[in-house]
Amino acid sequence: MLIKSTTFFPFRRHVLFWSSFLIIIMLLFCVLTILMKRDKFEQQGSNPVIATIGTHSILCDDFLALYRQLYSKQWEMLTAEERKILASELLHTMIQAKIMLAEAKRLGIDKDEKVTSSVDNIIAVLLSGRNQRYIQSEQEYSTKELKNKMIHNFLIMKVKERMIAQEPISVTDADIEQYYQSRPADFVIDKSTVHLKQLVFENTRTGQATFRNLKRGSSFEKEIVRLQKRGQECPELIDIGIIEFDELEPEEMDNISITNEDEYVAFLHRNGEYIINLVVEKKMKGKIELEKVRTKIEEIIRNKKQNDIFQNWMDIQYKKLPVKVYQNIVDSALTIENVVYDKNL
């Protein structure tokens, strides 16, 4: 047994040697693979491309600069999934902006002098007085940067308008009726509310005279000026805001409940004050009739149809150019160091 053991021992050493050698080779292979990947990333630089739009590209630093501006203060309150969703939305907004600016150039819209003239007029207003201080302290844009940014926004708007105008949009009564019937919960008021503006008079006779003038077609503003000129009691106009009917004084409820909008209601309060209310808007509990929201629904449907036309056009551009997003680089860039602290500063 001892002789067999000693004759077998060299073979065991041989196996151990080759096993160790293979393990070392595998470790070296892994290290080399990691190094090659790192070198490839370093060849891209610390500012890699995160999306390509045809021959154009979006760099990581440009994306992070905007992401940081928009969401750095909310970072701690967002979940990881929410951060990724916001990043995706922002990146595609940047992609679409590049596509539309290229389209503006192709269509010659960027040569339109009206665009430049409109932007110059807006900038002139923004750079005057307090607005200039706001731009310099809050946004830190130079005049040239601000002008370029606004021109880009104008061009994007013009391209979108042109794309939408290519297809006529109509909203039929059937469209409106279908939208109204399919969303019953959107057109129900749970609580009766009223929006009031108010004048309170200590002198009842002055209040009554003011109320008579209002009923004849005057306004709160005109009556305040009239009272000021005569040196009479001139109460301050108070915007009560939107309140529920249950919060009204008994005297107010009795009167306002039977009035229409834009109507003046006056009553003598139990404390002796003469109060005039302007019913700016009134919403009664219950289902809203279709005719009261027809215009609003039509606008909603029209906007949706316009957005659908634009999105269809944009989908075609994504495929034609094509557009490619390097999602893994985007996800790896969303760190607290990049977004909140900005490691480049």
pLDDT tens digit at each of 345 positions of the chain: 333 444 444 444 444 444 554 444 454 344 334 334 433 443 445 899 999 999 999 999 999 999 999 999 999 999 999 999 999 999 999 999 999 999 999 999 988 888 888 878 877 776 665 455 445 444 556 777 778 888 899 899 999 999 999 888 999 999 999 999 999 999 999 988 889 899 999 999 999 999 999 989 898 889 988 998 888 888 888 998 998 877 776 666 666 655 566 688 888 888 889 999 888 888 888 999 999 999 999 999 999 999 999 999 999 999 999 999 999 999 999 998 889 875 554
The CATH number corresponding to 191-284 among 3.40.50.620, 3.30.70.2190, 3.40.830.10, 3.10.50.40 equals 3.10.50.40
CA-to-CA separations, 200 to 65, 98, 247, 269, in angstroms, rounded = 53, 57, 18, 10
Q: What DSSP string describes 272-288?
A: S-EEEEEEEEEE-SEEP
Domain residue limits, the chain: 50-167+308-341, 191-284
The candidate with the shortest Cα–Cα distance to 54, out of 102, 94, 88, is 102
Let me know: does 257 contact 247? Beta carbons within 8 Å. no
DSSP structure class, residue 272: S
